[in-house]
Every structure is written in C-alpha cells, then in structure tokens.
Amino acid sequence: MIEVVGVMLSLLFFGIKAGAGCGFSSHSTKTAWYIGFPYLAAGIVFSFIAPALSDRLDGLMNLTLLLHSMLAVLLILSGIYTAKSWWGGCDVSKKTFLVLSVPCPVCLTATLLACTILTEALHLNAAMVGIGVGLFLLFAIVFFTHIVKQFHPSPRGLGELMMVVGMFYLIGALIMPAYMNLKDVPTVTVSFGNEMLFPLLAMAAVAASGFVFKRFWGGASR
C-alpha cells in the first residue's frame, strides 16, 4: 500500500507544479487543459511501453538524474529572467511558465514509474492504469490552476516560484543518487515505494510551504 501512496503523492507534486505554473502565468485557466492533455497522453502511452522498459530502468534513472539537474538550472535562470522582466515592466510569463508546466523528463519518468508500479501493485489492466494516471494529472493541474488564480498572482510570483522549485530540484539531484545506488533491492516497486517516498514528500512539503509563505508574506508587505 505504501507504494501506491508514494506514487500518488509524487504525481500530485507534479500536478501542483504544473498547475501553479499555469496559475501564476498571465494566461486564462483554459490553458491548464491544454497543458494537462499531454500528461494524459503520456500516462496512456507509458502504460503500454512500461513493461518493455522495466529492464532498462537503471539506465533511465541515471539519464533522468542528469536531466533533473539541467532542468533545475533552467528553472532558476528562467525564474530570475521572469522576475527581472516584470520589474522592468515586461510580462514574459506567457512563455516562461512553460518551463514549469510542460511535461519535463523528470515528470515523464515519474509517470512511467507510476504506471509500472500501479499495474503491479493493483493488478489492473495497463490501459486502465494509464488512463487513471493521466486523468489524475490532468485534473490535478486544472484544479490547482483554479486555486492559484484565486490569489490573483503576478508574473513576479511565477519567477519566485520557479526559483524555489529549481533550488529544490538541485537538492533532489544531490540526494537521489544515495537512493538510486541501492542495487540489492529486488524489485522496482519496493525500491520506489520505500526509498523515494520520503525525499519526494520532503521536496513537496518544503516547496508548498515556500509558496504559501511567499504569497501571504508578500501580500502582507504590499
């Protein structure tokens, strides 16, 4: 059961991240649907190809770690650019939000692992699992976009959020190898459920607390 909880929490983290990017941008909430449909498609596709990739997960995770680090740097730089542009009177959030919201290699790998783990843990049809994972991400993105829009955020907030997420991606890139090097774990399910749950929870909790602090503290100081 802990494997399922870990998978759902990790998917929720990526849904919040993508939804926050849409919510902080200058786009309407309709954009969240356009961003969410590729996540739905990824869930369906990965549910079918996950069995064929199960014996290549080690190499895939190593590649994901490299891309994870590169994405962290890109998020930080894009966040700085978005915030500085807003201070200079230019709104670039309609473009830069894509760095935070579109399916990234890290999210796609998590989706692939989610389909693999849920199929094995729940003993369900692969197509049903893929559709379920995709719909969960889609509606999480749309829901959190609506939530964030209620605070009437500015592009400056998007830049700050991107920098915060980028910094915790860097922290994740530092702590992930310690868990990925556990070669004696017999199955992917046990490895992800027990070893990856806590860092993902930590990243999600700190990122969420940073977001809340920024919004309320920033609103109180204006």
Q: What is the pLDDT of residues 147-193, one digit of tens each?
A: 999 988 888 889 989 999 998 888 877 776 665 555 444 444 444 44
Mean pLDDT within 71-96:
91
Q: Hey, is 71 helix, strand or coil?
A: helix
Amino acid symbol at 94: K
CA gap 46, 130 in Å, rounded: 7
pLDDT at 207: 57
53 pLDDT higher than 60: yes
Q: List the one residue out of 74, 36, 58, 145 whose CA is nearest residue 109.
A: 58
Q: List the one residue out of 157, 175, 174, 166 whose CA is nearest residue 207.
A: 166
Q: What is the DSSP letter of 56?
A: G
Mean pLDDT within 79-100:
91
Range of the domain at 10: 2-221
- 132 vs 117, more confident: 132
- What total number of domains does the chain contain? 1
151 neighbors 212 (Cβ within 8 angstroms): no
Rg (CA), the chain: 17
203 pLDDT higher than 60: no
Listed in sequence order, the residues at least 6 apart from 127 whose beta carbon sits closer than 8 Å to its beta carbon are 44, 47, 48
pLDDT at 220: 41
pLDDT at 81: 94
